[in-house]
Amino acid sequence: MEELAIRAQGLTRNFAAVRALDDLTLDVPAGSVFGFLGPNGAGKTTTIRLLLGLIEPTSGSAEVLGFDTRTQGAEIRARTGALLEHSGLYERLSAEDNLRFYGRVAHMPKAELDQRIQELLTHLGLWDRRKEAVVKWSRGMKQKLAIARPLLHRPGLVFLDEPTAGLDPVAAASLRDDLAALAKRWGATIFLTTHNMAEAEKLCSIVAVIRQGKLLAVGSPAELRARGGGQRTEISGRGFSDAMLANLRQQAGVSQAFVEGGQLILVLKNGGGDAQGVAPLVSLIVREGGEVQEIRSAQGSLEEVFLSMMGEDA
Amino acid sequence: MSADFATVLWKEWKEIVLERSTSGSGSYRPLILLVVLGIFVPFRMGPERFFTAAGLLVPTFFSAIVITAVIADSFAGERERHTLETLLASRLSDRAILFGKIAAAIAYGWLISAACILVGAITVNVANWHGRILMFHDAASWLILLIGPPLLGGVVATAGVLVSLRSATVRGAQQTLGVALAVVVLGTVFGSNSLPTEWKTWFARILLTWSQIDLALAAAGVLLAIDLVLLLAGMARFQRSKLVLD
């Protein structure tokens, strides 16, 4: 039987009249990089808080590393690392002192802590500036340090809540590379929330999609792409008017229609990518005055699948 | 627990020192206090008044006031700077976090008080040098010197942590604490005037008939009781689930 790092059963959390998490049932295999995808306000942060035993569920239950989140929160927090919504760095302290504090919190022996701080800061290119107060650093450097913090004591499970949020594309890509390298080298379970599909596709072996507290789908990125349809049809031609795009979006099999680089892109719902599904749409384009030169069919990206799910559920 | 307490104390102490050594006007405040309470006031008091139990009340009281700024920052500052949730998501126990923060604030006040008294003793000796070192000579003075700052500081720190736990901002916590302190001081001054005559007589008799050491021990007992009550209230108010969602 597959070993699980997280097992949630019907996890539900209400805040007054608002249901932030609705009957979440989820298994996260040990050693996986698990992507928890959803738009802002979907319930991702609430899920992490529940799994860390920081708040109690209204109903349902969850086990993290074999510990009950309701009654054994302290045990869970002792065995996990977490980068939450904010970096959690003490900006008056130096980078080294920030890591030293959390290393001491994790009861790491001094020699091991010294070695680990050097290893992580060197890997992230921060070693030379370890004595500087963090307040003087760029956002990208702070975020790298924030990621090093929960990895410091090599926990069995790491929660990363939108680790690249707010970073410029170059810094985000660099951070993703660092994270992928660290995860591969050391093999812990990583529970990563994001609304960046490229990030999920690059890092995650399994992804789950959540919206308004409800789980919509779980699987590998490839499975989700296949399951969600996400069939992408690219049409080269001319005369793709706004009115035509609006009309196409109204069609039953179309989840998205937009013009990109002079091409009309149609993202089609389940099973709509075959000739029978595309033919009526091509007829419509021609009727509306468009000129079709070439039609290509391709597998959609995870982002398109995600957007398609968001559209279907709305 | 003791290792976690020491870890929180270490972090808090670093933050207190760094905040005061890097924040412009903040770095001068302890120095100003040292000049006023360590040089100016002792010089004016002279050895007869400085080296008494009553002479120690001034630095003890002001060192307790200094704690308000530190303790207001304890939880409200973490909340304001978005570090509180990460701290709560760590393995640290509720008690280690709470006691570590309170202890750091008390230690800071105690250090200020000790520095003021030490500089004051040097000032008085230099200004009144007659070939021998002048020092505190009665048991009550030494008792106040050793346990006065932590006990009075403890009252301010434990009351302050109650405020800081609920306050959204450091400024808000400082204002609430400032008002509370003013109410206590003014209430004591004006309240003592409006006490029934029998009560006043009773208090006067105690002050006149009890020895200084008995008075110091009684005051220490009262402060310790207040410390414990406020500490228990702080422990009851410290709830991770509420702090995370505040």
B241–A88 C-beta distance less than 8 A: no
* Interatomic CA distance for residues A162 and B73, integer angstroms: 28
Residues of B in contact with A52 (CB under 8 A): 89
What ipTM goes with this model?
0.88
Residue B76 confidence (pLDDT): 95
B244–A105 C-beta distance less than 8 A: no
User: What is the nearest CA distance from A118 to chain B, expressed in angstroms?
Assistant: 20
Q: From start to end of chain A, where are the E strands?
A: 4-15, 18-29, 33-37, 59-64, 67-68, 80-83, 157-161, 189-194, 206-211, 214-219, 231-238, 254-260, 263-268, 291-299
3-state helix, strand, coil in chain A (%, to 5): 40, 30, 30
Eight-state DSSP code of residue A133:
B
Architecture of the A226-313 domain: 2-Layer Sandwich (3.30)
Where chain B has pLDDT below 50, the residues are none
Give me the sheet containing A206-211, strands edge to edge. Answer: A80-83, A157-161, A189-194, A33-37, A206-211, A214-219
Residue A1 one-letter amino acid: M
The structure's pTM equals 0.83
Domain ranges in chain A are 4-219, 226-313
Residue A115 confidence (pLDDT): 95
Residue A175 confidence (pLDDT): 76
Phi, psi of A217 (to 5 degrees): -160, 150
Residue B54 confidence (pLDDT): 86
Residue B196 one-letter amino acid: P
Domain ranges in chain B are 2-245
- A133 in contact with chain B, both atoms CB, cutoff 8 A: yes
Quick one: closest CA in B to A91, which residue?
Answer: B81
User: What is the nearest CA distance from B1 to chain A, expressed in angstroms?
Assistant: 11
Residue B154 confidence (pLDDT): 96
B86–A54 C-beta distance less than 8 A: no
* Interatomic CA distance for residues A70 and B240, integer angstroms: 13
pLDDT digits (tens), chain A, 314 positions = 578 999 999 999 999 889 999 999 999 999 889 999 988 888 999 999 999 999 999 999 999 999 999 999 999 999 999 999 899 999 999 999 999 999 999 999 999 999 999 998 998 889 999 999 999 999 889 988 998 999 899 898 999 998 887 777 777 787 777 777 777 777 789 999 988 887 888 889 899 999 999 998 898 888 887 765 556 777 888 888 888 888 888 888 787 788 877 788 887 765 555 666 788 888 888 888 888 888 877 666 677 677 767 766 54
Contact map slice: B 114-153 vs A, CB within 8 A? none
* CATH number for the domain running over A4-219: 3.40.50.300
Is B29 exposed, middle or buried (CB count within 10 Å of its CB: 0-12, 13-18, 19+)?
Answer: middle
Asked whether the beta carbons of A283 and A247 are under 8 A apart, the reply is no
